Amino acid sequence: MSKVLVGVLLGALAFAVISQVGNTGDDRYSGLRGVELVELLKSTEVANDRLAQQIDELSAKRDRLKRTTRQSETAARESRRQEAQLAILAGSAGASGPGIAVRISDPDARVSASLLLDAVEELRDAGAEAIVVNGTARVVAQTYFLDGQGSISVGGHALKAPYVIEAIGDPQTMAEAMRFRGGLVDRVRGRGAKAEVAERDLVTITALADVKPPEYAQPTP
């Protein structure tokens, strides 16, 4: 479209030059011979071609910049998405989504830290993406479970029964992992306690993990 417009304008200019020579006797062109007028038109065509080439180059550069901008925006969005996912896995950001709640009633203090850890591991195996115990202890890779005096320490939080484990993930898959024969519900019952599993459309986890930065491990370059 740009080439056509430039050609039309230059054609009009050439016509105007010839008309000016024939009708007004303009001194600038009246002394030119036909050959010279032809050369003038040729130089105009060369200028036209050069201008069209510049337009093409600028258009191509504009298109490249647009593509680069779109790619940069896409990369930035993907980077932000991955950063948000890593923050959830690391426990440094809250999370919400469908999931389950496992309530363990233990009036006789028969449930141990190892049993709670087993429950967490089974939830992870079933695809849990974020886990919290009693709404305060966010469970991540570094979280430890220890038996205490009348309580269980989860990542440094002293928790008492009833223990409520909330997990975000596929509700049906995680619920089945808790209820299958020989699973958590059966093992808790075998300890004289009780475990109830409830599927939820929305689980909201606001507790953050208290994770210390590694002292010795460094990223591999």
pLDDT tens string 158-197 = 999 999 999 999 999 999 999 999 899 999 999 999 999 9
Looking at per-residue confidence, does 216 or 199 come out higher? 199
d(CA 55, CA 31) in angstroms, rounded, equals 35
Q: What is the mean pLDDT of the chain?
A: 82
Q: Is 34 domain-assigned? A: yes
Q: Is 218 domain-assigned? A: no
Q: Do 179 and 115 share a structural domain?
A: yes
Q: Is 104 domain-assigned? A: yes
- Domain span at residue 66 reads 2-88
Q: Do 100 and 74 share a structural domain?
A: no
Lowest model confidence (mean pLDDT) among 86-95, 106-115, 122-131, 209-218: 209-218
pLDDT for position 115: 94
Q: Is 152 domain-assigned? A: yes
Lowest model confidence (mean pLDDT) among 20-24, 48-52, 96-100, 124-128: 20-24
Backbone angles phi, psi at 137, to 5 degrees: -100, 100
Among the listed residues 127, 98, 88, the one whose alpha carbon sits nearest the alpha carbon of residue 202: 98
Q: Do 105 and 51 share a structural domain?
A: no
d(CA 144, CA 148) in angstroms, rounded, equals 12
Q: Do 23 and 98 share a structural domain?
A: no
**Sheet containing strand 163-168, strands side by side:** 137-139, 130-133, 163-168, 95-105, 194-205
pLDDT for position 210: 80
Give the type of residue at 126.
A
pLDDT for position 48: 74
Among the listed residues 129, 100, 98, the one whose alpha carbon sits nearest the alpha carbon of residue 199: 100
Q: What is the mean pLDDT of the segment spanning 25-48? A: 61
d(CA 161, CA 116) in angstroms, rounded, equals 11
Q: Do 98 and 77 share a structural domain?
A: no
**Sheet containing strand 157-159, strands side by side:** 145-147, 152-154, 157-159
d(CA 26, CA 24) in angstroms, rounded, equals 5
Q: Is 199 domain-assigned? A: yes
CATH number where 149 lies: 3.30.70.1880
Structural domains counted in the chain: 2
pLDDT band of 86, cuts 50, 70, 90: confident
Q: Do 110 and 82 share a structural domain?
A: no
Q: Do 99 and 80 share a structural domain?
A: no
Helix, strand, coil content of the chain in percent (nearest 5): 50, 20, 30
